Amino acid sequence: VSIVLPPAPRFSYNISPSNGCGPLTVAFDNESVGRALSYQWDFGNGESSTAAQPSPVVFQPSAFQDTVYHISLTVNNLCGTVTYRDSVLVRTSA
C-alpha cells in the first residue's frame, strides 16, 4: 500500500498598487499553489477574507500622517501552513 501526501502549500500573491494616496483601492492576485488549500487573509484594516481571490479592498487615509497597513495571507492544507506578510502604504489625504 502506498500513501501519497500532497506537498505543503507554496504561496505567492501580488498587491496592486502597493502604495498611493487614500482612499486607495488595492487588488490582490493570489498565485498560491497546492492541493486542498484554505486561505485566511488579514488586511490590517479590520477586514478579512477566506476567499482564494478576495475582492479589492479600500484602505482609508489618516488625516495627519501616512498609514502602513500590514497584510497577511495564511495558506494551509493537511501537509502544512505558511504565512506571508506584506504591507500597503496609504499616503495622507491632507
Burial profile 19-55: b = 16 or more Cβ within 10 angstroms, e = fewer: eeebebebebebebebeebebebbbbbeeebeeeebe
As a whole number, mean pLDDT of residues 61-82 equals 91
Does the reported pTM lie above 0.75?
yes
Instruction: Tell me the pLDDT tens digit for each residue of 9-65.
Output: 777 788 999 999 999 999 999 988 888 889 999 999 999 999 999 999 999 999 899
What's the pLDDT score for residue 51? 97
